[in-house]
Amino acid sequence: MQILTPKDPEWKQFCGKLNDAIHENGCDSMTLKNSDTILRRDYPQYDSDATLGYFREHNGFCDCEVLMNVDG
């Protein structure tokens, strides 16, 4: 399985879904709960645990940081 990164064609769609989820559910500034839910539900072709690890390695420790730091 592969990791979802900004280089993947699905990245923009993922960010749109994440942005919508943050507006609906909020960001707790501590977890990647929305990111994890979206990855597992909508992107089963990607390794969600490895992708979340990639987000953390690129300063995405919570959902809003994924959009600010990982997406750039």
Instruction: Fill in the amino acid letter for 5.
Output: T
pTM over 0.85: yes
Residue pointed to by tokens 């809003």: 64
Can you tell me the distance from the alpha carbon of 28 to that of 45, in angstroms, rounded to the nearest whole number?
Answer: 27
Residue 72 in this model has a pLDDT that exceeds 80:
no
Give tens-digit pLDDT for 35-44. Answer: 999 999 999 9
* DSSP tag of 8: S
Give tens-digit pLDDT for 10-59. Answer: 999 999 999 999 999 999 999 999 999 999 999 999 999 999 999 999 99
Given a contact cutoff of 8 angstroms between Cβ atoms, the answer to whether 59 and 69 are in contact is yes
Given a contact cutoff of 8 angstroms between Cβ atoms, the answer to whether 17 and 10 are in contact is no
